[in-house]
């Protein structure tokens, strides 16, 4: 397809061309924002490596009932309403890798942003949360930590 053919198509189908331009702009914006957000998304296998290699602190923001039904071994339960980057648990880990997770990964992404703003150096969040961990057939521990 030549440039002339592409321009002719865009002229005949202006709504499609504007839609394509809008989607392209949104994708570029999302990817650039991801590069500069300061924290990294992890897949379950990457989290396993980080825990084993760097002794990462895993903070689970799931409700206590969900946490007791199943959580990542070694993770610490912190209620979302009580999440504070300056808490005793977190303040002592500013230089360590800190990974936040929750059931689906939504609340933990916001928490990761808060940790980065508070000066934490190595901040991660489990993309997809504990559900992604389960889907990867990785084990969960039941009960309280």
Tell me the per-residue pLDDT of 1-12, one tens digit each, with 9 for 90 and over: 898 988 888 889
Q: Please, are residues 133 and 140 in contact by the beta-carbon 8 Å criterion?
A: yes
- The pLDDT confidence band at residue 62, using thresholds 50, 70 and 90, is very high
Residues 1, 15: Cα–Cα separation, whole Å: 20
Give domain limits for the chain.
Answer: 3-35, 39-135
Asked whether residue 33 carries a pLDDT value surpassing 70, the answer given is no
Could you please state the CATH topology (level 3) that the domain comprising 39-135 is classified under: Oxidized Rhodanese; domain 1 (3.40.250)
Question: What's the pLDDT at 34?
Answer: 63
Q: Please, are residues 75 and 103 in contact by the beta-carbon 8 Å criterion?
A: no
Q: Please, are residues 72 and 60 in contact by the beta-carbon 8 Å criterion?
A: yes
- Record the tokens describing residue 114, joined without a space: 């808060």
């Amino acid at each position: 397809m030549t440039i002339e053919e592409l321009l002719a198509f865009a002229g005949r189908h202006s709504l499609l061309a504007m839609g394509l331009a809008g989607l392209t702009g949104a994708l570029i914006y999302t990817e650039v924002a991801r590069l500069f957000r300061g924290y990294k998304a992890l897949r379950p296998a990457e989290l396993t490596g980080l825990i084993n290699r760097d002794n990462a602190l895993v903070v689970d923001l799931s409700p206590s009932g969900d946490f007791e039904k199943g959580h990542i071994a070694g993770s610490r339960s912190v209620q979302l309403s009580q999440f504070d980057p300056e808490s005793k648990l977190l303040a002592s880990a500013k230089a360590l890798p800190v990974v936040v997770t929750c059931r689906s990964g939504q609340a933990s992404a916001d928490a990761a942003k808060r940790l980065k703003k508070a000066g934490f150096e190595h901040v991660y969040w489990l993309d997809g949360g504990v559900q992604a961990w389960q889907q990867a057939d990785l084990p969960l521990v039941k009960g309280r930590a």
